[in-house]
Structure 1
Amino acid sequence: MDQTELKHLLEKYEAGKCTAEEIVLLFAWMDRMDATAQETPRPSLQQDAVKSAVMAHIHTPVKKWYQARKWIAAAVLLPACLSIVWWQQQVRHSRTPAIAWLKSSTGKQEIKQVQLPDGTIAWLNAASTLEYPASFDTRERLVKIQGQVFFDVQQNKEQPFTVQSGDFRVQVLGTAFLVRHIAGQPTRVAVASGKVQVSHKAAVLATLLPADQLTCTGNRTIISKTDTSALSAWTKGDMVISNATLQQVLWELENFYGITFHSDFNMDQGHLNLSFNSNMSLQDKLDIISTISITPKVRFRKKGNSIYEVYQ
């Protein structure tokens, strides 16, 4: 800094118009003067004169100013540091690849097996959808379903496996279980092995052990026992139903065949135990239901391509 620049800077300082950067520059020049004085025991008259001029314009005691300049320097450097940190975060974020999600779906009368990136096996029943990431790189193995899916989860205590379906979440470490979530029907979670925790809108509903099942309809949650051997029978094309109402049986057929049943009476009654194999047709299954049903005793009549009337 030459004499003209120094004079201009001192005039700005005396007028109270110096920026924080210019004040730091002023004190940096004084530091260089001190360093020069240490190297040359007898500083030149010119240096003494200029430094005296600086000190004459600074009315606050020198010691206090030397302390204050540390805070001034911090005030100048802090925004710069924050800018650097922000820039580094933006660069890091831009280098983090977006998670690629894959989707697998089934149509009417279709059952599909899907192997997830961690080795977990999922079986999709008819008219179901499974969404999952191309790789499980996060702290949680999260998948999303709609319909009915049976999972045989690869165990990993460090990375919990979570199934999300609507507002329901099922979290496990390693187990085999069924999740059924279909619009207009009760949500069902049943455990074949291991242990799962079921939540709804962040509220824990239950922790289920083998042979436990949770059925949720509206605000009503029921915990009951189930036949574990029947939970995955449908993955082989069979259908095993125990102690079910007529409505529950017909829901299974509706979802699998893509049909609709209508009736003028309450179908949420009865206690049916049925076992259908994969070789049976829809009509075969309806004939069996008509034969074994007692309360209520029902018959079926086709009303269109995909509509059946249920009558007594």
Structure 2
Amino acid sequence: MQKPDIPHLLEKYRTGTISPEELALLEAWYLQWQPENQDISLEELQAIKAEVWQSVKPPPARVIKTRSWPRIAAAASLLLLLAASAYYLLHQSTQQPKQKQVAASPVYDFKPGGNKALLTLSNGQQIVLTDAKNGKLADQGSVTVNKTANGQLVYGAGTGNASANMIYNTLATPRGGQYHITLSDGTQVWMNAASSITYPVTFANNERKVVINGEVYFEVAPDENKPFKVSTGNQEVTVLGTRFNVNGYADDAAVSTTLLSGSIKVRNLTSGQSSLLAPGQQANIFKNQAPIHIKTVNAEDAISWKNGYFLFDNQDISSVMKIMSRWYDVDVEYSNYNRQDRFGGTFSRSANLSEILHNLEQVGSVHFKMQANKVIVTN
């Protein structure tokens, strides 16, 4: 038999909405009920009865017909029932611990970056490409600058010879940004987050030279008469037509250049030392060091960012979080983190940051706490 809902029945009785069947259930429960605490005093029971009586307001005085006496008697008999029930409910409530209500903490997460960049023209005018409409943006000398439907910046080929006073533009991506630009010679450039490139809108007759910061991938249009040069930090790369990636963030220990196809010459501007790279090789020039360190790598891994994913190979948490900081535009703090864990794996750049951090927690002794504008790394 299902136990009756005593609190509900008592409330219905108090408000006068109880049905005959429910009243019978309530009376039956009262006849069978025995308080678990047999030490209840008479004074306590009388106090409970008085409290219950105050809650049951008597109706206005009226003429009572004889046939109403059974109902009055039933009500009187239930007065003690109510008193006992009140004790029952009070007794039950003291046995059940109150649940502590805790205010819900806000849930923070960070969405992945996207096509965001700032174009600075030769006259200092700046165009936020995220807000700019597709189509013609500006004329720079004889070159037209267009934003295409796929979020790409394209420079026309231009006409005539390059001027002695060359016109330069700068394209910069913020943290959480990336962009693809086609230079006037047809060279394709992909920029990672927090990167920049400064370039002439029309190249000189004898060379093509650009300056970068951050990480940039190039597919250089072939031109045997015009070598293509990329300067970053204390390094210069010279090519004729090839595919390569340069990672030259100012806060990294070294500038890394990885060759995917063709041939390039890497020169240390500080020492003057030069080295030729073959496809599948990577040159690393460390700050304030003369040697160029060359090693064989999987070159495609170097452009995983350009292909839409992160690739970590035995990297420490500091290196991993530096990449996360750039792409998700979030600051990183370390709180008593002193472990030497190494991490590896492949993650989509389109995933929210919480998903990647959760996976890192599963494979290492590291924990992350996301706040409004930062991530805290702990043991």
TM-score (norm 2): 0.52
Q: Which residue of 2 aligns with 1:189?
A: 257
Task: Work out whether 1:260 is the aligned partner of 2:327.
Answer: no
Change in 2 beyond 3 A, CA 1:207/1:127? same
Q: Which residue of 2 aligns with 1:248?
A: 319
Secondary structure at the counterpart of residue 233 of structure 1: coil
Q: How does 1:6-155 map to 2 (within 5 A)?
A: 97-155=164-222
- TM-superposed CA distance for 1:262, in Å, is 2.7
Q: Is the contact made by 1:227 and 1:242 (CA closer than 8 Å) also made in structure 2?
A: no
Asked if residue 217 in structure 1 is aligned to residue 217 in structure 2, the reply is no
Task: For 1:271 and 1:227, locate their aligned partners in 2 and report how far apart those are by CA, in whole Å.
Answer: 19
Match of 2:230 among 163, 167, 174: 163
Equivalent residue for 2:273? 204
In 2: Cα distance, 1:216 partner to 1:306 partner? 33
What's the C-alpha RMSD, in Å, of the aligned pairs? Answer: 2.2
Distance (whole Å) between structure 1 residues aligned to residue 285 and residue 375 of structure 2:
27
- Residue type of the alignment partner of 1:177: F
Looking at structure 2, the residues matched to 306 and 214 of structure 1 have their Cα atoms a distance apart, in angstroms, of 35
List runs of 5+ in structure 2 lacking aligned partners: 1-161
2:352 maps to what in 1? 281
**Deviation, structure 1 residue 145:** 0.7
1:242/1:131 Cα in 2 relative to 1: closer, same or farther (>3 Å)?
same
Deviations 1:160-201 (A, max 9, x none): 110011222111111111111112212211111122222222
Residues 44-102 of structure 1: per-residue CA shift (max 9 Å, x gap): xxxxxxxxxxxxxxxxxxxxxxxxxxxxxxxxxxxxxxxxxxxxxxxxxxx95410011
Alignment match, 2:242: 175
Contact conserved, 1:100 with 1:133, CA < 8 A, in 2? yes
Q: Percent identity?
A: 25
Helix, strand or coil at the partner of 1:170:
strand
Number of matched pairs: 213
2:325, 2:294 → 1: CA distance?
24
How far is the alpha carbon of 1:128 from its aligned partner?
Answer: 1.0
Secondary structure of 2:301's match?
helix
Q: CA deviation at 1:158?
A: 1.5
Distance 1:266 1:152, change over 3 A: farther
